[in-house]
Structure formats: structure tokens, C-alpha cells
A and B are shown apart, each in its own frame.
Chain A
């Protein structure tokens, strides 16, 4: 599954409304890399430009300057090796397609025949624990189930890289635990590379091999932490591990510390 895939972000800058009266600099010279098979969590406060970063990684928004490379190619648009699961599961599923059709739709774009499409879709739905809802319409499913469908769609696309933007932000707490475990399990089984953007510190530590902490204004990388739990994790023991508490404290301190610094010396920039 791993095809030597890797994402490189170099000196990424993003400015909205450039040259205008409301010029707003979001990202200032961000650099990071994602290794093949790795799970990387990007964590930071709301409004830090996490979503902007993910959109750049997905090739949806061209950066103002700097570059995003996939392997040795420069990304200029959405890539066939990258699947995206967005925060807005309700909006990203097409309401007029049955669940299996939603999962299979990207394959239709590749010219896969209907029978083969459906078989793949059902397989992927099975993998996310939704074996028997293929013939329903999205509105008939709960929020957590809809987000599973979106994940299944990413799997069906058979991309070695899965990008997730606040994927579990708007589902209930219980489904959230389940979806986190599902993500870990899929990654272990399929060996895919996962990048998750989140504002939830616990989630970032639980899901990531590495946690990249963003902060500041404009946003920069504050810290990168390596998480020592390996690929076998579970909600009870991992979260009870003293190192878990240590890591989340460090992430929180990095974000808080940066904020306190800013408060102490106001209006310098």
C-alpha cells in the first residue's frame, strides 16, 4: 500500500486579500514533512489556519508562496493519491445518491464499471462498520455514521494518503471515540498515511505518531512532539498512560505559553 508517499511543505505562506485594505496573513513560512505510513496530527487554536494548511495539502488552494510537494511532484491541484475527509460530513455527502453510490462516485469518475464500483463500495462500507446501510440515503443515518461514509469514500478512492479536517468535530462524544479507534485500525491494516487537523489536544495525542503544534499570529510551527505509543492503542490504557498526560500538558503549555507571551507585549506587530 505504501508507495513511498510523502508530503513536503516548504516555507508555506498564505495571505488573504493580498494588497487590499483587509490584507490578512494567515500562514507565515510554515515547513513540515509527513513520512510514508505515518499519522501526523496538526493541532492549534481556532482561527490558526489549520484548515487553510489542509486545503493547501489537498491541492484545493494554491499557496501565496512556498510549495507543497507530493513525493517529487509539486502539487498544483487535487491529486489522485490524496483523499480528503472534511469536517462538514452533512454537506460533503451528496444527498441524492444512496450511501453506496456516494462511496462509489469517485470511482465512476475514473471510469470503473458499475458492478465493480458497487462491490468496492460495499467492501469499504464494511471496513468502516457499516455493512448493511448501503441502500439508504445519507439523511437516514446519524452524524457519526455519515462521517463513516465519508471515510469509506476516502478508502474506496484507494489513495495512500488520507487528509482529515476536524473529522470528528461535530459528532457526539461516544461516536467520536469509536471513529478515533476506527481511524487507528484502518491505518494499521492498510498502512496508509494519515494527516488529521484538530483543535482537540487529547485527540491529537491519541491519534498521532507525531503532533505538530501550530500557533502565533501569523501562524507558525511552535513545536513537534513524537508520541511513543506505537500503533496499538486503545481508549482506556493509552489515555491512562502517564506519558499521555505529560504530552497533552506539553501541547497545552506550548499553545498557552505563546498566548501569554502575546498578551504581555501587546500591539508590537
Chain B
């Protein structure tokens, strides 16, 4: 309860600081409008159809790309993680591909696929598949030698081993990958929209700012933040539900 009050206080403090900076005029109001103006703009937007259309467009691309990445990344990651030879062979390739800034493929994708919603989902997919794959691989490898030994002595069949040993053992790590990928998916979807003519939140930010309505642009940025934050909270909740078997960790342990 006291913590909640503290947190509310901190939010109020940051809002006040923001208002002060905006009011004093150190920064031009087009770069940083005041919190009241942004709140007003957000209030107007919440009642408009274009706003929800933009949110829907962004989520569409992000979710489709993310689902595809999960469908490919988890099975490939688990299987290659279990077999040491597969993991070793693919390590360097995955490392190189993972560090590739996917958004740089945009001009190429624009050339090849054109400016379509499918292109947006494809870029999201490419950006998300590697974190999911790597974390799944890592999770499959995190099953301890002791557990493997037990599974051998009790002659557990291969399929059962996958379902009840490798998969649950990998869940903590896979969840981390999913959380990373979910945040990335929104980031990339908005990035694509900022740079192309595809509709969505990113496009609306650009359009608002170009029309001089920076309060509206900030309202859209706040919306993007809210989506990202909701994903974080949702992932935390899912982790909590899925990982009830783990002993409670010391406070402050989060990556």
C-alpha cells in the first residue's frame, strides 16, 4: 500500500517536472508539448475511429509476425537445443543473423514485396524469430545432467521426455524470449509505419507531427508505450502462472 503511494507520488513528480519544463519554454512546444495538452489530445483521440483503426493496424502486423515467429522459433530452438551437434553448428549463423538490424532490410523488402501489410508482418517475423529461437535453444540446454540421468535410468520414452522434461524445463527461458519478442514486435511494426505509408500508430505520429499537432503525436507515443507496458505486465502474469513450481526468488531479481 505504501509502495503504491510512493509510485503514485513518483508519477505525479515526473508529470510536474514535465509540465514545468514545457511551461518555462526551454524546449519549443512543438518538440515537447505540456502534459495537459497531451492529455487533452489523447482524450479527443480516444473517442475517434481513426485512433482505434491505427491501434488495430499496428497490432495486426505485430501479432501476425509474432505468432509466426513463435510457431517457427520454439520448435526449431528446442530441437536444435537438445542435440548438441545441431546447436553447435547453428550457433554462429544464428549469432550473425540475430545481431542483424532487421529494419535495415526495409528498403530491400520495399523493393521486393512492396508497401503492404504483409511486408510489415514479414519484417516483424524476421525480427522476432531469433530471440525466440535462441531462448528456446538455451532453455532446452538448461536441463541439468542429473535430470537427464534420471530420465535414462527410468527409461522414459523420447516423446514423453520432450513433453514432460525438456519443454517444462525450457519454459522459463522461452518466456524470456517471448517477452523480448513481443516488445520487439510492436517496436518494429511502428518503425515500419514511421518509414513507409502503411497505416498504424507510427504513421499517425508522423502525420500529426507534420501537421504541427505535436500534442497528438505525443498522445500516440503514449499509446505505444501503453501497449508495450501492457505486454510486459501480461508476460509477467503469464510467467507467474506458468512457473508456480519454482521457489520464490529474492526480491529485485529481474532482467
Contacts and interface: CB of A to CB of B under 8 A. Distances in A.
A and B touch in the complex (CB under 8 A): yes
B153 A109 contact: no
Given A91-B147, A96-B169, A96-B245, A83 B164 contact: no
Contact of A106 (B149, B154, B171): B154
B160 interface: yes
A94 interface: yes
B153 A137 contact: no
B147 A92 contact: yes
Interface string A126-159: 0000000000010110000000000001000100
Given A96-B168, A96-B169, A139-B247, A78 B155 contact: yes
B47 interface: no
Nearest to A110: B155
A153 B151 CA distance: 12
B164 A92 contact: no
Contacts of B155: 78, 80, 106, 109
Size category, A interface: 20 to 34
B153 A84 contact: yes
B146 interface: yes
A109 B247 contact: no
Contacts of A96: 168-169, 171, 245-246
A108 interface: yes
Contacts of A80: 155
Given A88-B146, A94-B165, A108-B160, A60 B154 contact: no
Contact of A86 (B150, B156, B171, B245): B150
B146 A86 contact: yes
A100 interface: no
A10 to B, nearest CB: 22
Interface of A: 58, 60, 78, 80, 82-84, 86, 88, 90-92, 94-98, 105-106, 108-109, 137, 139-140, 153, 157
Interface of B: 144-147, 149-150, 152-157, 160, 164-165, 168-169, 171, 244-247
